[in-house]
Amino acid sequence: MSTRPAGSATVSARIHARSDKVSEGTMRAVCYDRQGAAGEVLRVREVPTPEPATGEVRVRIRYSGVNPGDIKKRSGWLGSTMPYPRVIPHSDGAGVIDAAGEGVDPGRIGQRVWVYGAQSYRPFGTAAEWTVVPSALAVRLPDQVSDEVGACLGIPGITAHRAVLGDGPVDGATVLVHGVLGGVGNLAAQLAHRAGATVIGTTRRRADLQARPPRGVDHLVALDVDDPVDAILGLAPDGVNRIVEVAFSDNVDLDAAVLRNDGIIAAYATRDGRPALPFWPMLFGNATIRLLGSDDFPAQAKQQAARDLTSAASDGSLTIDISTPMPLEQAADAHERVTAGTRARVLLHTRYVSLEASTSSDCRRRGG
C-alpha cells in the first residue's frame, strides 16, 4: 500500500459522546432516532451487541464507509421517513467475523471480510463496533487488500460494476464515464479499463482537468468546453458503446448525440427527478436506458460484482483515494464531508479515541 499525505490536519470540535469502557454485552454505535441534520441527530450510544441469527455472521467492524445514500436516508431525502425506530447507519464496512449463526460454516470465524448491504432494508449498519449480516454479504478479503479499501468497495463498487458490466462484456468497446472523479465514476473507469474498454472520462469544469484522473482513463474531457459533443466524437468518431451517467437530466442531450447505435446509458443519478429527453433521436439510435438503484440489484448481480471487485482489488487494478479515517464520535463531521462533495472516500474507524483532537488528512491507498 502506498500513501500520499496532502493538506493540513484539522481538529473536530463536535464530539457528542465518548467512553472507553462499555458494559459487558454492549457496544459503541452511531445512532439516530429521528431524521435531520447530522450534527443534530447523530449520537454515539451504548447499545446491545448483536448476535447472529440463522444464516448470519457477526463482524467486528474496523472501518465503516460513508456514502451519499447514507446521508439521504438520514436527512429524509425525497420525503423518506424513518424505516425503523432507531437506525445505525452505513451499509459498507470491513472487519473480522467473530461469530457465526446456525447454518453458517464455523470456519468463517476469524476471516477478514468486507461488508455490503448492512443497512439495506435492515436497521443496524456498520457505524458500530459490531454488525450482523447474512453470510453472503460478508466477502472474504485477500491478505493483500487493506481493510480501508475493503470498506470502500460496497455501494460505489457494486453500482460501478453494474453500470459497466450489467449488459455484458466491454472488451474492445468505448465507455464514456461522466463524473469520473467521483466515487462511482472512479471505480467505473477502472473496472471498464480492466475489462478491456477504452475509457473516456468527463469532468464538469476545465479546472478539474488538473486533478489526477483515475487509473485506466484514456481520455479526459471537460463538459464546459465550447463543444463537448465534438470533443467526445473527436476521440470516438463512431460514438461510444456505453455511458455511465451521474447527471442524467443535465447530460441526456449530449449522451444522445455521442451514443453509438444500440448503445446503453446506465444512469445512477439525476438532478431533475422528471428529466426531459430527446425521444426520437434516441429511438432512431435504438438507445437503451438502464436505471440503477443499488439497494435493489438482483442478488446474483451483487454477488458477481463482489467477486469481481475483490479480484480487482487483489490484483492491484483498483486505486482508491481515502481520507484518514475518523472516529465514530466524529460521524457528523464525516457526513458533512460527504455532503460537501469530497472526492476522497470517507471512513469511520471503531478504535476508541481518548483525546479531544483527532486529525484528518488525505491519502491515496492502493487496493493491492
Assign domain 156-295 one CATH number from 3.40.1450.10, 1.25.10.10, 3.40.50.720, 2.40.440.10.
3.40.50.720
Cα(345)–Cα(364) distance, integer angstroms: 10
Average pLDDT over residues 264-268: 98
pLDDT at 350: 96
pLDDT at 239: 98
Residue reference for cell 491515496 = 364
Q: Which part of the chain has CATH 3.40.50.720? A: 156-295
Helix (H, G, I), strand (E, B) or coil at 314: helix
Cα(348)–Cα(335) distance, integer angstroms: 10
More confident residue, 16 or 142: 142
Average pLDDT over residues 83-104: 98
CATH topology of domain 26-152+320-355: Quinone Oxidoreductase; Chain A, domain 1 (3.90.180)
More confident residue, 368 or 2: 368
Task: Dig out the grid coordinates for 68 from the structure.
Answer: 451519499
Interhelix angle for 248-258 vs 228-235, to 10°? Answer: 50
pLDDT band of residue 367 (cuts 50, 70, 90) is low
Task: Tell me the DSSP string of 110-157.
Answer: T-EEEE--TTSSSSB-SSBSEEEEEGGGEEEPPTTS-HHHHTTSTHHH
- Neighbouring CB atoms inside 10 A of 366's CB total 18
List the one residue out of 339, 306, 310, 344 whose CA is nearest residue 324.
344
Cα(242)–Cα(269) distance, integer angstroms: 16
- Neighbouring CB atoms inside 10 A of 324's CB total 20
Task: Count, in order, helices (H) and strands (E) of the chain.
Answer: 10, 17
Helix (H, G, I), strand (E, B) or coil at 359: coil
Counting Cβ atoms within 10 Å, is residue 241 exposed (0-12), middle (13-18) or buried (19+)? buried
pLDDT at 211: 81
pLDDT band of residue 109 (cuts 50, 70, 90) is very high
Cβ atoms of residues 115 and 124 within 8 Å? no
Cβ atoms of residues 233 and 258 within 8 Å? yes
Residue 18 has pLDDT above 80, yes or no: no
Per DSSP, which regions of 18-135 are E strands? 26-31, 43-48, 56-66, 92-100, 112-115, 130-134
Residue 44 has pLDDT above 90, yes or no: yes
List the one residue out of 158, 124, 123, 120 whose CA is nearest residue 139.
158
pLDDT at 213: 83
Instruction: Kindly report, residue by residue over 169-219, the tens digit of the pLDDT.
Output: 999 999 999 999 999 999 999 999 999 999 999 999 999 988 888 889 999
Cα(184)–Cα(203) distance, integer angstroms: 13
Which residues are registered as beta bridge partners of 185?
none
pTM for this structure? 0.90
pLDDT band of residue 21 (cuts 50, 70, 90) is low
pLDDT at 126: 98
pLDDT at 353: 56
Q: Which part of the chain has CATH 3.90.180.10? A: 26-152+320-355
Instruction: Kindly report, residue by residue over 289-301, the tens digit of the pLDDT.
Output: 999 999 999 999 9
Residue reference for cell 443519478 = 269
Q: What percent of the chain has pLDDT over 70?
A: 89
